Amino acid sequence: MKVTATRTREEIAKLREKAYLERWPAAQQLEALQDKQNGDATKWERMQADFAAIRALYPYPDTQTEEN
């Protein structure tokens, strides 16, 4: 018998939020947004890539594929 432990959406959301803030504290997120609005999207794009990597690391249970 194969036992698989899964996290709830709430647990995943907390893990993601913690990872987002560790990698990009709120002040840096605001700076990236402000730079983007001023025409320089470099930090914004880097932040979005980091957030995508975090989402891939912590996928929601209903978005995971089944492994046989």
**Residue pLDDT tens, the chain, 68 long:** 787 778 899 999 999 999 999 999 999 999 999 999 999 999 999 999 999 999 999 999 876 555 53
pLDDT of residue 27: 98
- Residues whose CB is less than 8 angstroms from the CB of residue 51 and which lie 6 or more positions away in sequence, other chains included: 20, 24
- Contact 43/31 with Cβ under 8 angstroms? yes
In angstroms, how far is CA 56 from the centroid of its own chain?
7
- Here the tokens at position 51 are 């957030």
pTM: 0.80
